[in-house]
Structure 1
Amino acid sequence: MPRRTATLLASTLMLIALICAGVLIPAPYSEMSPGPTVNTLGDHDGKPVLQIGGHKTYPTTGHLNMTTVRVTGPDYTMNLLQAVSGWLDPDSAVVPHKTLYPEGQTAEQADQVNAEEFSQSQESAKAAALKQLKIPVASQTVVGSVVKDKPADGHLHAGDVIKAVDGTPVKATADVAKLVTRHKAGEKVVFTVIPAKAAAADEKKGKRPETGRRQVTLTTEKAEDGRAIVGIQAEVDHIFPFPIDVKLADVGGPSAGLMFALGIVDKLTPQDLTGGKFVAGTGTIDDKGKVGPIGGISMKTVGARAKGAEYFLTPKDNCAAAAKDTPEGLTLVKVDTIGDAVKALEKISSGHTSGLPSCAKSGAP
């Protein structure tokens, strides 16, 4: 066999071997790419994303789009060729699998976490929006979660409203731990609660939960640090003066909080916040209106611009990363609170955009 032919054959066999290895060798990575973007002022699957009852609402125009990131699932196994392809694609990001999914987390567990975060983000968005509009929002302490095989398991349930511990009224979430830890392990503690279903029924009627009070007696257990515990996590639950529902399925995580809050503000405000402009954005939000950073910011800006967004509301702590590769035609607007975002929208709607706080690569204004 001629040397040239032998060299070509060897090179071909080597290439085939490398391709086979690339296909067969698993890579410990996950891929992120731009996901769907939905206008919180509009409809999704034929229904309004934001549904408000019992209070006057106003017509809106333009867009206030929440943005998402599409990620491969926790059970997805990427091969080496797919990883390389993702690295070369400017509109996707390949990241270590463990940065998205803690070791050992199943698909079901990941879905549960995302669903819980999405639900909590909605509640915080409602509270932040109403507080921005100076509409009073009441709050109460509830059972957020119950630890399996601990004293409260089977006796208290997520959503139960905690009215008192040992007869002492609970006025804040911290009161629960304070009152329980007054006991020694093995002593009994009495919770006065309103079951979750009864509380939900009262809230649906616009009433503070009071129906069906009952007492639950638990025997405390010693924690690793020696404190007495019953195995619950207390959380704040808001009581809204009128119904506000978010109708958006197949979305998880907390990053749509800011855009939900702004959509609520726009619908409850006579002034048209967007002035017909296409604004998108992202960011977590707490019940006080503080905006927090999110992951996958570059994927979200790409997805928003592809749908036609001209402005992108960007959490302050994501500014530097977003500014590294901003899609052409998209203006990044830095926000730290819901108040910042509302002021920015007022400038955008009026056309006075020269004073908008922008994102720079350094993260500075």
Structure 2
Amino acid sequence: MNRPEHEAAKRDPRFTVMSVSGLLALGLGAAAVLLPSPYVVESPGPTFNTIGEFNAEPLITVEGRQTYPTDGALDLTTVFVAGGPGQQISIFDAFRAWADPAQAVTPRELVYPPDISEADIEQQNAEAMTSSQESAVAAALGHLGIEYEETLSVVGFAPDSAAEGILEEGDRLARINGMEIEALQPLKDALNAAAGDSVDITVTRDGETVVETVEPVQGESGDYQLGVFLMSEFQFPFDVDIALNNVGGPSAGLMFALGIVDTLTEGPLTGGEHFAGTGTIDSAGNVGPIGGIRQKLVGAQEAGAEVFLAPAANCEEVVGHIPDGLRVIRVETLGDAVTAVRTLGEENDDAARLPSCED
């Protein structure tokens, strides 16, 4: 007796193979969406106008010193990071980011140590932000010729440090070869002037004055160094408050300093124009490199900025990745940045000669 054709079809092995393949495809697709990936995605974050308002309050407030009205915008730029500890992303998210030129995909192990936690990262970013704000105030006051006090303390040692075993953590630096150490830059200048010869470092240690002799070593930059990590403590002649608590890291230092300079200087520094930028800053006003420069360029352009101030050390990453309509100016110091903003704000003949990352 012949069996029905539909019964034979149910038992066709090709049907079974197709069913299994379909289930496998669905399973792999679900895994791609749900399973975490070992990558971090960086994308353009929000911008904040340092001479504007945040949560209906001035982002920068000065008490105890004459301030002046500002105009235009001096935006600090940020990067949104997804995929770090406590916030893993899927393989699908990583592939989608790879297809977007405004985003960057990086192996997590190259960004975060394997044993770091989300709480550790938040604490580090908060500390870096506090330090950058204090350095920004110091740099701005130094640029304006306003005196303040800076105390340097040893908080650690670099690999192959010249001072390890001689200086100690907690030492407060007081003098170098008899000259008072009033700030970081004079210390650097004195070390370079010694050109590798031994220097006498006077420190305060456990309440006592101690003099130690250290032979500085020359670093890759050519500068002579003690090989110590220093923490600066400042005493300013008036109060400067920066009301931005939801952004971490040190890269806003330059734009904070510019905002403070504009607030303390008569006449709008920007000429009413829209600027953005990024960069770390030390108390001497030196601008350092940051991460995520390409994403910050995109964020600045999307926020309406026409000029971007970029650290000179980041210029290689900038070339070929400048969004349409955005001009990028290369800066190495706070003085460079102030000159660029004022020159472009005034639209004088020097504007065309400002250095760019493409020079």
Q: Same fold (TM over 0.5)?
A: yes
Q: Residue 327 in 1 paired to residue 323 in 2?
A: yes
1:87 maps to which of 92, 98, 109: 98
Deviates further, 345-354 or 301-310: 345-354
Which position in structure 2 is the counterpart of 1:29?
39
Which position in structure 2 is the counterpart of 1:356?
354
CA distance in 2, matches of 1:297, 1:8: 48
Q: Residue 263 in 1 paired to residue 259 in 2?
A: yes
Question: CA contact under 8 A between 1:25 and 1:80: conserved in structure 2?
Answer: yes
2:283 maps to which of 271, 287, 291: 287
Normalising by structure 1, what TM-score?
A: 0.73
Q: Residue 304 in 1 paired to residue 314 in 2?
A: no
* Alignment CA distance shift 1:129-1:171 (3 Å): closer
Normalising by structure 2, what TM-score?
A: 0.74
One-letter code aligned to 2:206: F
Deviation track 1:228-286 (CA, whole Å, cap 9, x = no partner) reads xxxx9762212211111111111110000000000011111113210000000000001
> Structure 1 residue 77: deviation in Å?
2.1
Which position in structure 1 is the counterpart of 2:49?
39
Which position in structure 1 is the counterpart of 2:133?
122
SS of corresponding position for 2:256: helix
* Alignment CA distance shift 1:101-1:137 (3 Å): same
Alignment of 1:82-231 (within 5 A): 82-141=93-152, 191-192=206-207
Deviation track 1:23-56 (CA, whole Å, cap 9, x = no partner) reads 3543211111111110000110121111111111
Moved over 3 A (4+): 1-15, 141-145, 160-164, 168-174, 177-180
SS of corresponding position for 2:80: strand
Which position in structure 2 is the counterpart of 1:65?
75
One-letter code aligned to 1:314: A
Q: Mind listing any 5+ residue stretches in structure 2 that lack a counterpart?
A: 1-8, 157-168, 188-199, 209-227
Deviation track 1:112-149 (CA, whole Å, cap 9, x = no partner) reads 1101111110111111111111112222245769xxxx
Question: CA contact under 8 A between 2:69 and 2:267: conserved in structure 1?
Answer: no
* Alignment CA distance shift 1:6-1:331 (3 Å): farther
* Alignment CA distance shift 1:169-1:318 (3 Å): closer
CA distance in 1, matches of 2:339, 2:116: 41
Q: Residue 253 in 1 paired to residue 249 in 2?
A: yes
Question: CA contact under 8 A between 1:289 and 1:339: conserved in structure 2?
Answer: yes
CA RMSD after TM alignment: 3.3
| Structure with bigger gyration radius | 2
How many residues end up aligned between the 2 structures? 303
One-letter code aligned to 1:106: S
Report sequence identity in percent.
Answer: 43
Deviation track 1:134-171 (CA, whole Å, cap 9, x = no partner) reads 112222245769xxxxxxxxxxxx9x99598xxx9995
One-letter code aligned to 2:339: K
CA distance in 2, matches of 1:143, 1:4: 74
Which position in structure 2 is the counterpart of 1:242?
238
